[in-house]
Amino acid sequence: MDIVLVILAGLIFIVYSSYFMKIITGDPSFFEVEMLKALAGWIISKGTISKIYIWVMVLSSILAEALYFWLTLVLISNPIMRSLTILLIAIEIYHFSKLALNLNRFFNGKDLLSQVFDWRLERTSAIFFFTHSFLVIVGRYFF
């Protein structure tokens, strides 16, 4: 189980590293606009099936995060890391709830794609995930 946690933490660390760098250098907006343009192009190219793909990606993300959080809580006994994990779980519950609501509004034609993402929340989530995964990797390696 420890290996799975480190692999998940490593993947999270790698996935969020470029966005984290854009955030801390003070220029995440360009990166976010590019991601939004790429998503819009992908939705247009896939057509109506993109809705199913997006919901599958959201569900897959929830399941992967749930596994990561569960493994973290089971394998790490450090009270500070456990507290940070619980805080991150709370942020992610709010994040996914808001994202699901916004996606639903978008797919029902009530919102534009540009309104789906709350970029402040996306940045907060990215910073927490990057930092948390880094701490998990370092903690598993040294302790």
What is the per-residue pLDDT across 26-58, written as a single tens digit (0 to 9) for each? 989 999 999 999 999 999 999 999 999 999 999
pLDDT digits (tens, 9 = 90+) for 83-102: 999 999 999 999 999 999 99
Per-residue burial over 20-57, b = 16 or more CB atoms within 10 Å of its CB, e = otherwise: bebbeeeebeeebeeeeeeeeeebeeeeeeeeeebeee
pLDDT band at 71 (very low <50, low <70, confident <90, very high): very high
Pairwise CA distance, residues 46 & 21, whole Å:
30
- Count Cβ atoms below 10 Å from residue 84 Cβ, excluding itself: 18
Looking at residue 65, what is its pLDDT? Answer: 96
Looking at residue 131, what is its pLDDT? Answer: 97
Query: Is 143 a residue whose pLDDT tops 80?
Result: no
Looking at residue 91, what is its pLDDT? Answer: 97
- The pTM of this model reads 0.91
pLDDT band at 141 (very low <50, low <70, confident <90, very high): confident
Looking at residue 142, what is its pLDDT? Answer: 82
Which residues fall within 8 angstroms of residue 65, CB to CB, at 6 or more apart? 92
Q: State the average pLDDT over residues 64-83.
A: 96
